[in-house]
Structure 1
């Protein structure tokens, strides 16, 4: 019996009918594309990893217990090899542990450099952990496993060493950071890209107002890649944010470039204080004043009639003062003031101030004054004064002094009379003596023309019974004119 020969994978070329015919060897499974950090896994029907893999797929971890069976269809249960390969970004890198177990042989390579070598046929599982430092950036790990005979099992991992005494490598600065602000809610959202660190613990968000440094304590700590700040003051100020990554060993990265937001201003200025009446006059009205408020661009003045009326906006002022020219003389008003900033925010109203516009207008002058001489003095009469707020008449009497050119009535106040009295009897004057008189009208606010201008309508008369002056007759007509002293 002639034994059958093993078929080879070599193509055999035959000539047939003038044409070339080729017999093609069976093809292995197509190479799989595996997204990092998933491994690409290749199965070989030999322990030298030569030829085309019998199978290629993706594997999330190197952790197999195949026992004594074949690891895949088409592979022998002995003398096979399996290779895992992964390329990934290690961020800032740092110290890593490479723990392995295998029965039989295992080798681990970092960027083509062998780091683990347990390459022998064993009857029990062998173990080893190798510590390495992986540089920052992208690197390739390759795990080669072979089983010569017997049971097959294998495991491999790469894990960061995170104790503070070992890991001194800071994480990379987070990238892709940005900030957005919603003026309607007053919230700012800070976002960034996921950090590549394998030992990342989280992120710290810092905030500072313009012109100030970041505080040592972060605004927030998170494991997410965004943070919404709900604590921003709505004062129209500018604030800056930065994000820092920190790892499990406590190392913190440098901060991202500062990103700024300018907040909406919805914070009202302080309430005005020290409200007072600063002046009052008939010409200018009732004046108000108060202390200035920091940040105020203007002020609003509110007025209510009396002490219980409803307040309405009276007007505004750029400075901490206001003159109410519309206040009615003698009427009480209540006032309150608010401060308004450049954004239009209005403060609460100040404490109430009640004031009354003072009457500075004197009554009209007394008219129709007559001084009629009698045997024992004079009878004074005058017209009723039309002033509605007339309080009294003040009667002045005295002597007329003359320097030859000018005459002055040196008079003193001799009587106060109620508004319904328009006459006065002036007695105890020696016969034939001359006297001067004037009457002043005074209102309920104390206003009078005589007090204001020191002038009055003066009448002069001579008491009966005195001999006439040479060239004159005894005074039978009242004298008028002159200036009050």
Structure 2
């Protein structure tokens, strides 16, 4: 901005053009009694330098002076300085002057504005932006003018100190605003704190300036000075305006959690709280306030972009900072949901829903004894965990990963499964009945289901087993079968995968001995050829030995057993061999015995022991001979003096001659003892049976009291079948068990103080002892076995009839 200073010399007006220069200094003006910063209007241009450190009192400048005019007979104004209250006019001293009178031109004439005994005067109450013209005249002590005056005067435009209209904490600093005067070229901004003086922080050619160097939590005071085009000061400054700067919160992280997005930012000194916003329909919508430096926005829509910003509040809830108008964006992703967990061959297969904004996925696992552990990444929505132990329960969860390898989602509680490994078939053996498939035990499996591959229908279930082997029977000799096994849980559901390729085996039926005959030096053993085998292994056993290898035959289908001894009994069997000498078939175990080269038949005594044969095989199980039932063991020997048979075949008592007692009461007594009675011997079973009968077969009152021995068998039968009865039935039934145990036993029909009663007596060491199951009933609360083998009953017994039971020629006889 150009200014003109008018100088009058000897009646001649000289018009000089002067340029005002703003100087950023804090120099003290010695002519100013107030010791405040001054401004100057001068012809000299002063460079704009950094504020010197030794002048800390306020925004100031170095003021150039107006050169004196030669042969001038009036005070010459050499400087103007706009200050806070007006314009300070300075002039050179005039010889003979005691004081000076200052005038301002009012547009028509000069008007007196004041007097000064010094060489300066401040004209106050001026209007901002108005140009005033001044002149000065010297006076003596009598108030007489002693000088002329410059009739054109000296001009200066007054600019009041700029007034800050607002201080605002914005994103990135403090924005200082004021009303810009169109006559002002630019402004210089100053700042101070309680610990520092005024410091220049920058220039602005409009009505605002943002202080980007402010520190959060610190109180700053700002003021301004106006500059002309040459950066000379044209205004003073005022006390300014203060604000505590609180920086705009900077969002440094947004994490997707299980419930929403967690927005985090750095702490802002000076903030009491923070208000979080998100962008909705192009407008910021408040989410909530917090004193923490994080906030979780929940109930979000997955795979949706949200933009957030944060603003500081003071303790009254007013805004204390700016905010990031652009905000920080984040795509919310729900934790991936596992859709399925499946035990497959080799591990656990995890599948989950695909999220389009996920670049990849990270898979985690935990057990009841471990925390979440990362186990791998996947680019698709499927992962196979191969590092698992059968029988262990695992829980899996997934997190989304972005392209930079950062988490893009949280995780949920996951989904659990007990891993049960796929059964691994370790062996397939050809047995006599078929192919026996064996596999490793799989912890966590309740059962196993075995499958065979059908070329037309795929895998066909063969059966279920709780063991680790299964025999596939009814196979076709020479046919190849492929098997796989799958685990089941306790409910019969699949608990594992399965080997889709399976394990194959060619079934070779056990080869059969076709003929055994007497040879010149032993037994000649012959068999039929089996296609596809490389040889045979021949085994032999006797009645007293198990199978032992006799020879491997790789040529032909016969072998002469030269080690066979005369009058001994031998049996032979075969197994097939492959080219490597491995066994590839089972053997027939129940082969026939030969005696001196012919089938063993009838009674044959070997080493003093007599064995019973029937066409080469031991007589075994029940056999009817001459109308009597006998029981032969697996060696063809008649079993005697014990209970024989099985649950499938039925139970009988075989006497000292091996004849089985076929009377119904004795058959049921044998069945009762083998089903309900504990013990390794018949005597132990009898004692156990006494207590079991009393405690588990309830008393049932009837009035068909027996009168003679022939009445008793039906009572014993009734108790064994219906499992309840009265004292006579207990006595008859227990007499049967005592007889089977080897005791002489009898039923006594009598009374107790006139009431009918029956009991059992057994002969022990020549003395008949009382056994009364009825007296052991729970209702009597008698100690266990107290009424067993008593010499004297604790009741008063009166016997009437005594009926002994014996076994003769396979029949029970009561008499």
**TM-score range, shorter-chain basis?**
0.3 to 0.5
Rg comparison, structure with higher value? 2
TM-score (normalizing by structure 1): 0.39
Tell me the TM-score normalized by structure 2.
0.26
The structure with more helix, counted as a fraction of residues: 2
